[in-house]
Amino acid sequence: MRQSKKKQYVSSVQFQRAGCWLCSFILAIVALLSCTPVKEYQKNKLNDSEMVLTNRKIEKTELSFLSYREGASGANAGKSGGGCGCN
Amino acid sequence: MKKLTLATIALYLGILSVFAQPLKQNDSAYKKRKLSFEEANLISSYYQQDGNNSSITGGIGTEKLTDLSTQFSIKLTKVDRKWRKHTFDLEMGIDHYTSASSDRIDLKANSSASYNDTRFYPSANWSMENEKKGTTVGAGGSLSVEFDYVSVGGQFNASKKTKDKSGEWGVKVFTYLDNLKMILPVELRSGPFIPRGTQYPWTDRNTFGTSLSYTQIVNTKLQLALLADVIFQQGFLGLPFHRVYFSDNSVHMENLPTTRWKIPVSLRFSYFASDHLILRGYYRYYQDDWDLSAHTLSIEPVIKPTAFFSISPFYRLYVQQATKYFAPYQVHTAANRFYTSNFDLSSFTSHFFGSGMRLATPGGVLGWSKLSALELRYGHYTRTNNLVSDVISLNLTLR
Amino acid sequence: MSKLLFLLPLLMWQSQVKWETDLDAAIKMASEKNKTVLLNFSGSDWCAPCIQMKKNIFNHPDFISWSAENLVLVNADFPRSKKNKLTAEQQMRNERMAEQYNRTGIFPLTALLNPDGSIRKSWEGMPKLSAAEFVEEIRKNISHQP
């Protein structure tokens, strides 16, 4: 019993390490990308409705259920906490 | 109930029709300053789930639930004397759900009040954009009301574009001040938790959060967003009708700490790969001080046969490490200070996949000139601890 | 069917409407012929209101017949798809026009120009007007000399 608890602890630490590693990896990619200036009239691709950097309006219901059925929430420009309905 | 829903929709459609009057000569500066209708959205969703780890029965038992939700929103804009653009978003949402497990708050009763319920959630948001300075400020309020839960929300936000306007910093502070009815499982009601007639005691849950965001245009085809939240919650953070069975088969109300810190960090990108393909991606790492952590990864290739028609299959992977306070049915002991058997907080992996479809024909979808876009989306969700759900949504955009 | 036959000559006529692609040449031409320049920014293969505006206003007989006599039409197109890609030279010309008249990237944007190239009047987005009403607005603006 004691041993299994220890195992769980180790895996949790490993899990967090993996997360940190992934985050720094992504930040490194972002830093490496060199940006070219884009004029407002050159944004016909960026302004496509499928290119928005937020969730779609139609995803609202599924996102609220995902936030009830899963422990994690937030950082998705959506709602985090409050307004329960946590059935 | 149905009557009320229809009446509300009719009322909103009435408001819409007033704003939808064609604005003649919308080009003159004077007219531009008038409040004008931008768009309206009608979103309707049907959700159903089934599983056998209901927290109401201590981590065993049915989690069958259905929910039908309808949201209607209108967006209005106005340019003021200083040529700043004001946007007003008004929204009304109604959910109607039936839950088989909520029926088990009283294990002996056939049907309790919470077997089905309705939630109303109106909200209003305002924002003001100063294009010259590249700044936006905004504020908003929201309300969510159901028979055992009331939530009042508020938010302030501000953003500023970088000098070359390719990047934008954003900050948002938000709060939800909630009140929940202490409806305990029938056999656990004692002392202050004994209802007086139909009057139950209420308790608080408050959420305070800050969101930081940075978006960057990389080139004409690629843009990225980085988001980080810090969220603090205090108050009653479990739910009063969640049972926990100890190893000695004694039954208790879920007991969780009265504070919780959550830190999610995410990255999102969208890439216009070609005329017929857009790639959308999202990754999030989440950690809280209940030792719950999770990775979320989602990818959505958007296939565009034409510029106005797209099909977007999606896949989302979620891997969660349980909170230290979780244990399943009859595993907790009296030695534990905090305990829950809520499987939403357990260790699991979930897969969510499906497809969306969007039609935005110039001149109106399906021959209706006011219908500027029609979107349909279906998703199937499976969790390794046997929870499955399906969700289907429809979004009509009127302009 | 008879309606279609009636429309046929109009459709053929409409294809004769010429949209210039060089603003400097158009301004010169306008002053020679005593006409006014109407400059239109469009995204011909992605911008739904641009497509609607072309269909409902610019390609309408009411607009075609009047504009032939009174306007020099200039189009600065910003197509998105590979198959509609403009020549590098044309793209540069269009971007120069946008740099001067459409820095905020509004599509469609239509501007009536003075002989010196300054904006006399502009319409952001698709005007919610019929072709005849739009013609009337242009006419009024031309007759009221500043």
Q: pLDDT digit string (tens) for C7-21?
A: 554 454 445 578 989
> Could you tell me if C119 lies within 8 Å of chain B, comparing CB atoms?
no
Contact assignment for A45 to C80 by CB distance below 8 Å: yes
> Could you tell me if A43 lies within 8 Å of chain C, comparing CB atoms?
yes
**Closest by CA position to A67, among listed A84, A44, A49:** A84
> Could you tell me if A40 lies within 8 Å of chain C, comparing CB atoms?
yes
What are B264's strand-pairing partners? Answer: B286
The set of residues, in sequence order, having a beta carbon less than 8 Å from that of B40 and lying 6+ positions away, is B16, B20, B72, B73, B74, B75, B397, B398, B399
Interval B150-202: pLDDT, tens: 999 999 999 999 988 889 999 999 999 999 888 888 888 887 788 887 788 89
- If phi > 0 it is left, if psi is from -120 to 50 it is alpha, else beta; for residue C75 that is beta
User: Chains with ≥3 Cβ pairs under 8 A against A?
Assistant: B, C
User: Chains with ≥3 Cβ pairs under 8 A against C?
Assistant: A, B
All structural domains of chain C? 18-143 (3.40.30.10)
Residue of A nearest to C43 (CA): A44
pLDDT > 70 in chain B, percent: 88
Predicted confidence at residue B4, as pLDDT, reads 45
> Could you tell me if A46 lies within 8 Å of chain C, comparing CB atoms?
no
Average pLDDT, chain B: 88
- If phi > 0 it is left, if psi is from -120 to 50 it is alpha, else beta; for residue B61 that is left
Going through chain B in order, the beta strands assigned E by DSSP cover: 36-50, 65-79, 85-99, 116-120, 123-130, 135-146, 149-161, 167-181, 202-217, 222-235, 243-245, 251-253, 259-274, 277-288, 293-306, 309-321, 348-359, 371-383, 388-398
Rounded distance, CA B263 to CA B231, Å?
6
Task: For residue C93, give the 3-state DSSP assignment.
Answer: helix
Interval B282-328: pLDDT, tens: 999 999 999 999 999 999 999 999 999 999 999 999 999 999 999 99
Give me the amino acid identity at A35.
Answer: C
Interval A40-79: pLDDT, tens: 999 999 999 999 999 999 999 899 899 889 988 887 755 5
Give me the amino acid identity at C96.
Answer: R
Contact assignment for B43 to A51 by CB distance below 8 Å: no
Residue of C nearest to A44 (CA): C80
User: pLDDT 10s per residue in chain C (146 long)?
Assistant: 455 445 554 454 445 578 989 999 999 998 898 889 999 999 999 999 999 999 999 999 999 988 888 999 999 999 999 999 999 999 999 999 999 999 989 999 999 998 888 899 999 999 989 999 999 999 988 876 54
Q: Which of A28-32, B273-277, C97-101 has the lowest mean pLDDT?
A: A28-32
Give me the amino acid identity at B182.
Answer: M
Higher pLDDT, B54 or A33: B54
Q: How far is CA B334 from the centre of its chain?
A: 36
Rounded distance, CA C106 to CA C129, Å?
18
Residue of B nearest to C84 (CA): B275
Rounded distance, CA B188 to CA B183, Å?
10
Predicted confidence at residue B99, as pLDDT, reads 81
| Domain extent listing, chain B | 2-21+32-398
Rounded distance, CA A38 to CA C78, Å?
14
- Asked whether the beta carbons of B145 and A85 are under 8 A apart, the reply is no
Residue of B nearest to C49 (CA): B362
> Could you tell me if B363 lies within 8 Å of chain C, comparing CB atoms?
yes
Interval B239-266: pLDDT, tens: 888 899 999 999 999 999 999 999 999 9
Q: In the CATH hierarchy, which fold is given to the domain comprising B2-21+32-398?
A: Porin (2.40.160)
**Lookup result for tokens 């209706």:** B368
> Could you tell me if B53 lies within 8 Å of chain C, comparing CB atoms?
no
- Whether the pLDDT of residue A12 is over 60: the answer is no
Please report, for residues B212, B296, C138, the alpha-carbon distance to residue B264 in angstroms, rounded to integers and kept in the order given.
11, 10, 55
- Asked whether the beta carbons of C41 and C102 are under 8 A apart, the reply is yes
Question: What would the two tokens of residue B353 be?
Answer: 């996949």
Task: For residue B373, give the 3-state DSSP assignment.
Answer: strand
Interval B14-37: pLDDT, tens: 444 444 444 333 444 445 678 899
